Chains A and B, each alone.
Chain A
Amino acid sequence: MPDKRIDGAQALINCLEREGIEYMFGLSGGAAIPLFDALVTTNTKIKFVLVRHEQGATHMADGYARATGKPAAVLVTSGPGATNTLTGIMTAHMDSVPMIVITGQSVSWMLGKDAFQEADIFGITMPVVKHSYLVKNANDIPRVAREAYYIATTGRPGPVLIDIPKNVSAGACTADLFQEMDLPGYKPYPETLDKEKILEIAEALNKSRKPVLLVGRGAIISDACAAVKALAEKLNAPVVNTLLGKGGFPETHRLAFGMLGMHGTAYATKAVVECDLILSIGSRFDDRIIGQPDKFCRNATKIHIDVDPAEIGKMIKPDLYLVGDARAILDELNKHVARLDTAEWLAHLDGYRKKYPLHYKKQGGLKMQHIMDEMYKLTGGKAVAVTDVGQHQMWAAQFWKTDGRNDWLSSGGAGTMGYGLPAAIGAQFGRPKDLVVLFCGDGGFQMTMSELATACLHKLPIKIIVMNNHYLGMVRQWQELFYDDRKSGVDLEGNPDFARLIENYENGKGLTLKRPADVRKILTRALEYKGGPCLVNAEVVKTENVFPMVPAGKPIEDLLVDPPRHKMEKPTGST
């Protein structure tokens, strides 16, 4: 009779497949060999994607999760393989993205002895994971796999790390693969819905004359989008969103005012400045959107709905709050609200919309905004939009209207340059039939462009628009505005020709865009190419600045709709 015993690695792969993991992104290495072997010996349905750098694997899993709502796994080896995942784990943690990261580890009797490729990844990642495991017994693996998936995906989602010494992954697992979870300290949602609190919130809303709904990523995570729309329409209230809340409420809706905050639309920010009530649905009142905390909405009733109790009162002390799942709360709240007399308020805000529209000039060189605007028109906005971090990210947030729940991918809390390309790859794996458009700067692109190999190998038809201004543009903008234009550490001289670069990979296509008159033509050609990724190297003007802008640390009413004419003081806020 054949030996039917399995090892820890096989148990892990079997259990993750059973939990629903479809994709695993990673890179092999010595301590992870038993885990990689199990991918073969178990005949698993999990599809493994080999990356070129472990950071890319984490962003791919992140992009996959944001684009599909389902988690993916990351599989890497010990030591440097594990530490290379740190940025991606932190990015996912900041933006509440579910992820399961499996790291190989030195054999357990060598732990703490500086063995070859040993790193205390359990300790190193502790502040940036939702939870983590160092597995010491192969029989624990079925329970750990199940708990990890459950923790990563419920409540406020986040990354979970499982560190597995090589002797454990190679050791026999004799435990039943169906194990009960043992998580007495984990309560992802409140046990009951506080209906009285919901009535109080409804009463406050019903008394409001100038309400604003603030939609954050929490609304997207809890799939509360339909409930948000119902609430906005019932109340006839304007809606603003955070960077990560894009898609939580359709930005093409008549009640949508777009993103608020540091680089939000002037009309969204002004709506928040002038409102008499702000209801946050799954936003954490991040410093990018509130400016100076003690001056934020001083005279408005502030209501905070969040699944994470630790967010209540962290930045803003709310007048009313409720901890729980956004959809469950809004579904109940919608029963108790009535249409408000907001005609005058909306007309007032629409006045701002007309007075301070988003704008750019098509003359005077090639503008990033022009490219985004044109891409939006060519695609009808029917695409998964992915960004990297910096100026292009803010313009994309302004000009690319997002309607769908999982159609906007951007590193918000962490602001991780290098996120874009691998995240777009992950998104395309998760949504093979949908168009994926990546807007990227030349700085961020070069941080993870090794993943061009991954994208080209798999013939992923991603549209990669490299907004090439030969600068780290956002920092250059700050230096211009606040540091007397002393440029320091921002000049990206030495950029390669990105269009020629991608042509070196099989299936990759490169295009060059230099003139505003060619925008439509080149983007159309990019959209027509189906044989793999198509990169457009867009040589944009070097010194365009993003506005509106709220200088960091200032109250948001101090927003600059247009470039300032006078010299600016150095900002006091964080970055």
Chain B
Amino acid sequence: MTKLMNASDIHTLSVYVANKPGVLARIAQVFARRGFNIDSLVVSSSVDGNFSRMTITAQGDPAGLQQVIEALRKLIDVLHCVDHTNEDVVVRELALAKVKISPEERTEALQIADHFGAKTVDLTESSMILMVTGTTDKLDAMIGLVKKFQVIELVRTGKVVMARGGEET
């Protein structure tokens, strides 16, 4: 029987790496070799442009994940790798949803958007693009509601996390 994924099998890692060609490939290989699937991946330059910050969410059993973390830490270009799963950290995600909306439906769509603090970033006779930021749950909830209209395209950034206060991300 296939084990169902539960929340503890979804992990959020923050990896601080040298900003060099090939680093992403090395990191992706650590996951792929062990059969882990990367659900989302955000890479961006850090305060010091010589380094990048990666936020990776991946699924797999916790014991295997510990091996993944150790293998990531072993990479020469990785400065540190922290598992933020189940930690009280600031987590944000951004989604853009292009929804087919007739003029009659527009009011209701805007009400939903307003409730979630989403912005309308594009508006035409027949469609609108909503931009929403927040936790993954919040994005899921809004997307669930706008599905009553026809969602033509959906783009999500994946999670970014930052540790609170004096803690290092």
Other-chain residue from B17, B21, B33, B67 in contact with A185 (beta carbon distance below 8 A): B17
Question: Interface readout for B66-81 with A: 1 if CB under 8 Å, 0 if not?
Answer: 1100110111111110
CB distance from B23 to the nearest CB of A (A): 10
Interface contact B76-A123, CB-CB below 8 Å: no
Interface contact B71-A130, CB-CB below 8 Å: no
Tell whether B162 is near chain A: CB-to-CB under 8 Å: no
Knowing A313-B66, A314-B67 are in contact, say whether A185-B75 is a contact too (CB < 8 A). Answer: yes
Rounded to whole angstroms, the CA-CA distance of A126 and B23 in the bound complex is 10
Interface contact B79-A184, CB-CB below 8 Å: yes
Tell whether B147 is near chain A: CB-to-CB under 8 Å: no
Tell whether A122 is near chain B: CB-to-CB under 8 Å: yes
Knowing A185-B18, A310-B70, A313-B66 are in contact, say whether A126-B25 is a contact too (CB < 8 A). Answer: yes
Rounded to whole angstroms, the CA-CA distance of A122 and B73 in the bound complex is 20
List B20-71 residues whose CB lies under 8 Å from chain A. Answer: 21-22, 25-26, 29, 33, 66-67, 70-71
Tell whether A308 is near chain B: CB-to-CB under 8 Å: yes
Can you list 7 A-B contacts (CB < 8 A)? Answer: A123-B22, A123-B25, A132-B22, A134-B22, A184-B18, A185-B77, A310-B67
Tell whether A131 is near chain B: CB-to-CB under 8 Å: yes
Interface contact B67-A309, CB-CB below 8 Å: no
Interface-central residue, B74, B77, B79, by most chain A CB under 10 Å:
B74
Rounded to whole angstroms, the CA-CA distance of A126 and B76 in the bound complex is 12
Interface contact A127-B29, CB-CB below 8 Å: yes
Other-chain residue from B18, B70, B71, B76 in contact with A151 (beta carbon distance below 8 A): B76
Tell whether A186 is near chain B: CB-to-CB under 8 Å: yes
Q: Size of chain B's interface in residues, with CB distance under 8 A?
A: 20
Interface contact B70-A309, CB-CB below 8 Å: yes
CB distance from A344 to the nearest CB of B (A): 38
Interface contact B74-A310, CB-CB below 8 Å: yes
Interface-central residue, B25, B29, B70, by most chain A CB under 10 Å:
B70
Q: Size band of the A side of the interface?
A: 10 to 19
Chain B residue, CB-CB nearest to A311: B70
Contacts of B25 in A (CB 8 A): 123, 126
Contacts of A308 in B (CB 8 A): 74
Tell whether A183 is near chain B: CB-to-CB under 8 Å: yes
Question: Interface readout for A276-310 with B: 1 if CB under 8 Å, 0 if not?
Answer: 00000000000000000000000000000000111
Interface contact A309-B76, CB-CB below 8 Å: no
List B74-115 residues whose CB lies under 8 Å from chain A. Answer: 74-80
Shortest beta-carbon contacts, A-B, top 3: A310-B70, A185-B79, A131-B76
Contacts of A313 in B (CB 8 A): 66-67
Rounded to whole angstroms, the CA-CA distance of A183 and B76 in the bound complex is 7
Contacts of A130 in B (CB 8 A): 76
CB distance from B27 to the nearest CB of A (A): 11
CB distance from B114 to the nearest CB of A (A): 46
List A386-422 residues whose CB lies under 8 Å from chain B. Answer: none
Interface contact B74-A126, CB-CB below 8 Å: no
Interface-central residue, A184, A186, A308, A312, by most chain B CB under 10 Å:
A184
Interface contact B73-A309, CB-CB below 8 Å: yes
Other-chain residue from B26, B67, B73, B79 in contact with A126 (beta carbon distance below 8 A): B26
Interface contact A134-B70, CB-CB below 8 Å: no
Rounded to whole angstroms, the CA-CA distance of A312 and B70 in the bound complex is 9
Rounded to whole angstroms, the CA-CA distance of A132 and B75 in the bound complex is 11
Interface-central residue, A151, A183, A310, by most chain B CB under 10 Å:
A310
CB distance from A37 to the nearest CB of B (A): 28
Question: Interface readout for A109-126 with B: 1 if CB under 8 Å, 0 if not?
Answer: 000000000000011001
Rounded to whole angstroms, the CA-CA distance of A183 and B75 in the bound complex is 11
Contacts of B80 in A (CB 8 A): 185
Rounded to whole angstroms, the CA-CA distance of A283 and B138 in the bound complex is 48
Rounded to whole angstroms, the CA-CA distance of A151 and B21 in the bound complex is 19
Knowing A123-B25, A126-B22 are in contact, say whether A186-B76 is a contact too (CB < 8 A). Answer: yes
Q: Beyond the given A126-B25, A183-B76, could you list 17 further A-B residue pairs with CB under 8 A, ordered by the A residue number? A: A123-B22, A123-B25, A126-B29, A127-B29, A127-B33, A134-B22, A184-B79, A185-B75, A185-B76, A185-B80, A308-B74, A309-B70, A310-B70, A310-B73, A313-B67, A314-B67, A314-B70
Rounded to whole angstroms, the CA-CA distance of A550 and B22 in the bound complex is 42
CB distance from B80 to the nearest CB of A (A): 8
Contacts of B22 in A (CB 8 A): 122-123, 126, 132, 134
Contacts of A185 in B (CB 8 A): 17-18, 75-80
Contacts of A127 in B (CB 8 A): 29, 33
List A472-499 residues whose CB lies under 8 Å from chain B. Answer: none
Question: Interface readout for A139-159 with B: 1 if CB under 8 Å, 0 if not?
Answer: 000000000000100000000
Interface contact A310-B75, CB-CB below 8 Å: no
Rounded to whole angstroms, the CA-CA distance of A314 and B34 in the bound complex is 12
CB distance from B108 to the nearest CB of A (A): 50
CB distance from A515 to the nearest CB of B (A): 50
